[in-house]
Amino acid sequence: MIQLVNRQENGIKVSFVKKERLEEIQKSGGLSETFKADYLEALWLTNEQNEFTLYIGIGEEDLDCIQRKEIAAKAVKLCKEKELHKVSIDITDIINQYSAQAVFDLAEGAILGQYNQRIFKDNQSSKMEIEFCNYNEEVQEQVRAYMNDAISIAEGICFARDMVNLPANRLRPRDFAQEICDFVKDTSIETEVIYEEKLREMGMDALLSVGESSQYPPCMLVMRYKGDPSSNRITGLVGKGVTVDTGGYCLKPSNSMLGIKGDMAGGAAVSAALYALAKNQVKTNAVAVIPMCENRISSGSMLPGDVIRSYSGKTIEIINTDAEGRLILADAVSYAVKDEGVTEILDIATLTGAVVNMLGFSIGGAISDDDKWFDEFYKAYQKSGERYWRLPFYKEHEKMIESKIADIKNLGESHCGTITAGLFIRAFAKERPWLHLDIAGTAWVEPPIFEFQTKGATGAGVSSIYHLCNRED
């Protein structure tokens, strides 16, 4: 996907220009006078041989990892806009300033910059050829290693975006399971799809209660990656896989139906992260569990007031059929603990509108009952450049989901919706260290916030989960 070379030879040349280099280049007659090398400012120039060079300003301050992704994405996007299919990016200065590891961000940014949403028309755009040129040969092998690791993550992010961008009629629950199995088939990941009949035998009633709302049956995908047989630690990664969420009998208003196809972004994220871990042969053990279903209206659909059972044995009072995510995640979390023996839990979901109101489209909500576990996640998202904010919880929040007629209810009060949704899931984690991510705001963007995003799915969570599992312990 990206060639690493030590001389620029193939395609449009791209050069990153720091403000301090501007004068030096201008003296040699190089750059137009209006170009200030401000961050993300772009300038196209031709030389005597009629060769194009694209200069991208990178300002004067040090770049953080988001910015390193952005400059690479910007370069690729600009070439894509001009329908130039070969691009050669000089990364030498960045490597020299920030070390070989900086290529990690550049490579991810470049690949995400070329991401196109799948279009259901004839004119499919072709992939670009990207070349990274590093003149500093001493670190070339290190650069190559980091680059290859980043490429697996970026492939994962692109896959997650594809899944989330697919409309509901092109991705039923079983299609989603199949797409993931196909995507990881050349890795060491073991996959198992648990179909409806087996779910019934097992008593996965919370998942079934939501899934029965549709003629397209529910299923649950289990993916096992054993990259560290010497360790007993197994990380459980549970992702919400609702391929369409109409709200059920608590039907969503039509003006809020646009995002309903993207309610499986959590499931897409955990599968993509596991793919990258396996591709990069990371020394860790992780099991992804993805409950998949639709949330619709049928004669068998849940109704407000119903009391259902769950796989754990706990009974649940249904207050709102649109709070379906926590129901299916409850069963998946119970399964991960009981049947897969996971030693710690991460769950990730497009779970509440409340988190969007609170943190917007660039920050995910996080909740955890274990400081050490959250701390590991904190380190992970410093590396990925994603943003999260940890929310508090106390006894009074737990009280909000107590039911008079069942063990628990699926809706709290009109406030603290993100916290009570998380705590509902925690009730099924059987005291394992638990971390909950609500990505309802960050899973898709319109318009994009960062250069490495395009309108639609973002692939939120993939790289942070990857880094969480790729920890040094």
Contact residues for Zn ion, defined by CB under 5 A: 242, 245, 263, 322, 324-325
**Amino acid in position 413:** E
Residue of 36, 80, 144, 252 with catalytic role: 252
Closer to Zn ion at the Cβ: 113 or 241?
Answer: 241
Q: Which does residue 320 touch among ligand BES, Zn ion, none (CB within 5 to 8 A, set by kind)?
A: ligand BES
Binds 156: which of ligand BES, Zn ion, none (CB < 5-8 Å by kind): none
For residue 2, what are the β-bridge partners? Answer: 130
State the nearest-atom distance from the C-beta of 291 to Zn ion, in Å.
12
- The residue among 278 and 323 lying less far from ligand BES, judged by its C-beta, is 323
Amino acid identity of 461? G
> What secondary structure does DSSP assign to 216-246, as a single string?
S--EEEEEEEES-TT----EEEEE-EEEEE-
The residue with tokens 């001493």 is 138
Alpha helices in 301-434 (DSSP H): 325-338, 353-359, 371-384, 395-399, 417-426
CB closer to Zn ion out of 94 and 327 = 327
Q: Which tokens go with 348?
A: 């990730």
- The nearest distance, CB 324 to Zn ion, in angstroms, is 5
Rg (CA), the chain: 24
Spatial distance between the Cα atoms of 468 and 346, rounded to a whole number of angstroms: 10
Say how far apart CA 178 and CA 239 lie, in whole Å: 16
Between residues 109 and 461, which has the closer beta carbon with respect to Zn ion? 461
Taking the least distance from each CB to ligand BES, the nearer of 169 and 256 is 256
> Closest approach of Cβ 347 to ligand BES, in Å?
14
Contact set with ligand BES (CB under 6 A): 245, 259, 263, 320, 322-325, 350-354, 356, 411, 417, 440
Cβ-based nearer residue to ligand BES, 47 or 307: 307
The active-site residue, picked from 309, 326, 409, 432, is 326
Query: What are the two backbone dihedrals, phi and then psi, of residue 427, each rounded to the nearest 5 degrees?
Result: -60, -15
What's the min distance (Å) between Cβ of 315 and ligand BES? Answer: 19
Q: Minimum CB separation from ligand BES for residue 203, in Å?
A: 23
Q: Select the binding partner of residue 353 from Zn ion, ligand BES, none (C-beta < 5 to 8 A, by kind).
A: ligand BES
Parallel/antiparallel/unpaired status of strands 364-368 and 285-295: unpaired
CA distances from 406 to 205, 399, 419 (A): 15, 13, 20
CB of 96 to ligand BES, least distance (A): 43
Q: Quick count: other Cβ atoms within 10 Å of Cβ 390?
A: 13
Bridge-based pairing state of the strands 241-245 and 285-295: parallel
Contact partner, 259, from Zn ion, ligand BES, none, Cβ < 5-8 Å per class:
ligand BES
Give 155 or 212: the residue with its C-beta nearer to Zn ion. 212
Q: Is 326 a catalytic residue?
A: yes
State which residue, 71 or 208, has the beta carbon closest to ligand BES: 208
CB closer to ligand BES, 287 vs 354: 354
- What is the nearest approach in angstroms of ligand BES to the Cβ of residue 202? 24
Q: Is the dihedral of CA 452, 456, 459, 464 positive or negative?
A: positive
330's contact among ligand BES, Zn ion, none, with CB below 5 to 8 A by partner kind, is: none
- Which pair of tokens denotes residue 415? 């406030």
Number of helices and strands (H, E) in the chain?
A: 15, 20
Give the shortest CB-362-to-ligand BES separation in angstroms.
15
- Rounded CA-CA distance 318/307 in Å is 6
Residue 267 to residue 350: CA distance in whole angstroms: 10
DSSP state of 199: H
Neighbours of 473 (CB within 10 A): 7
Distances from the Cα of 421 to the Cαs of 322, 369, 409, in angstroms?
A: 12, 14, 10
**Dihedral, 167, 436, 373, 207 alpha carbons, nearest 10:** -80
CB of 263 to Zn ion, least distance (A): 4
Q: Report the distance separating Cα 76 and Cα 453, nearest Å.
A: 12
Residue 86 has φ and ψ, to the nearest 5°, of -125, 130
- Residue 414, helix vs strand vs coil: coil
Active site residues: 252, 326
